[in-house]
Structure 1
Amino acid sequence: MVGIKKAVVVAGVAVGFVVGAAGASGAAGFSGMDKEKWDRVRFGMSRQEVLDIVGPTACAVDNKPATAESTVPTFTCWATGIEEFAPYAHLTFNADGKLYMKSFYRMSLPTAPTMTAAQYNKVAVGMTEEQVRKTVGTNSCVVTDLAQPAFPSTAGATSTLTCWTGKGSGFLAPQAWFSFKDGKVTGKHQRDVVK
């Protein structure tokens, strides 16, 4: 039950952010971010280096174009504009202005998800990402966020593996989130996978 509530809150925050942004600045026209660019931005890059990759019109800070001089820690970079449920990425910089965390929403989806409730239940704390993928189906998941909080050290690195069931990968389709630290599962939660 706690997992369901947490997942609903996470999904609600994502929807609220997107809907709120759409209402505030639906005509801002930010676009151009995609998964290939998300993959190319690396930890330790400056704001300018990140903008050189993602493009000058993709990212926003407080509904204004992000610049190398922006002091807000997180850029929100949009794939197709600020619209309800539109794909976007968050790129977050540390106090030294270096990228140390990145996440995305719906910029990449699994090719053929097949995870079942029974498979979800088999995932245990301490498993590696490879073990989780083998357990729930290699085509069921995508890594949706990465962080290296002690950059340049990799100690304490975190990630989230988001997985879908055979019911597809639509916004309201059953989903599970597996949290990792230093390459091992530290927790999991789900929405509508296990009822």
Structure 2
Amino acid sequence: MAAIKKAVVVAGVAVGLVVGAAGASSAAGFSGMSKEKWDRVLFGMTRQEVLDIVGPTACADDNKPATAESTARSFTCWANGIEEWAPYSHLTFNDSGKLYMKSFSRMSLPAAPSMTAAQYKKVTVGMTEEQVLKTVGKNSCVVTDVAQPAFPSTAGATSTLTCWTGKGTGIIAPEGWFYFKDGKVTEKHQRDVVSRPPFGG
């Protein structure tokens, strides 16, 4: 699970680096990624197979257009240009050049989130995804990353369920994250879902 969280962080850093390096004039330099394409990109695919689906203009490798010949471990692919908080996906390949991890940010959001602090607290280690969704509400969450570190084996497979409250899905809206390994919750984290204690409390 540490690898998943690291991938998401790296993707976020990549966005910042490209924005800083490219500047506003090239904000639309990469585009074309979508949740539909993310769903079609499957574990075991090569870089070429991934780019055939995503498109040659969507992904970057070290601030340059990604290619099938790239030796990069990961591509960062944008939906509508490189701008702050723009939707993007992070696609990661193993030593054999096969996709084994994929994550996204803000390419898909629940239409009617309603998770409460009480519901968040009820989720415990060992729960299945089905149990979590039943607890917090299936319309509150989206699976935002998945991985098969031992591909083609599914042993050790991980995923993250990102869930929002009734305060919406804005950039600074409260969020909760439930991390799974082999189909069971291993840990959870939240931002502003559970009220913070008063200053000094």
Task: Say whether the fold is shared (TM-score over 0.5).
Answer: yes
Deviations 1:114-147 (A, max 9, x none): 0000000000000000110110011000000000
Equivalent residues in 2 for 1:38-117, closer than 5 Å: 38-117=38-117
Distance 1:98 1:17, change over 3 A: closer
Runs of 5+ unmatched residues, structure 1 = 1-6
- Partner residue of 1:119? 119
Distance 1:67 1:39, change over 3 A: same
Which amino acid counterpart does residue 188 of structure 2 have in structure 1?
A: K
Q: Structure 1 residue 25: deviation in Å?
A: 1.5
- RMSD in angstroms over aligned alpha carbons? 1.9
Q: Structure 1 residue 107: deviation in Å?
A: 0.3
- Partner residue of 1:18? 15
- Partner residue of 1:4? none
Aligned-pair identity (%): 78
Structure-2 separation of matches of 1:185 and 1:84:
31
Q: Which moved more, 1:77-86 or 1:24-33?
A: 24-33
* TM-score when normalising by structure 1: 0.92
Q: Structure 1 residue 21: deviation in Å?
A: 2.0
Q: Structure 1 residue 24: deviation in Å?
A: 1.0
- Partner residue of 1:130? 130
CA contact (8 A) 2:61 2:74 kept: yes
Q: What's the secondary structure of 1:162's corresponding residue? A: strand
* TM-score when normalising by structure 2: 0.89
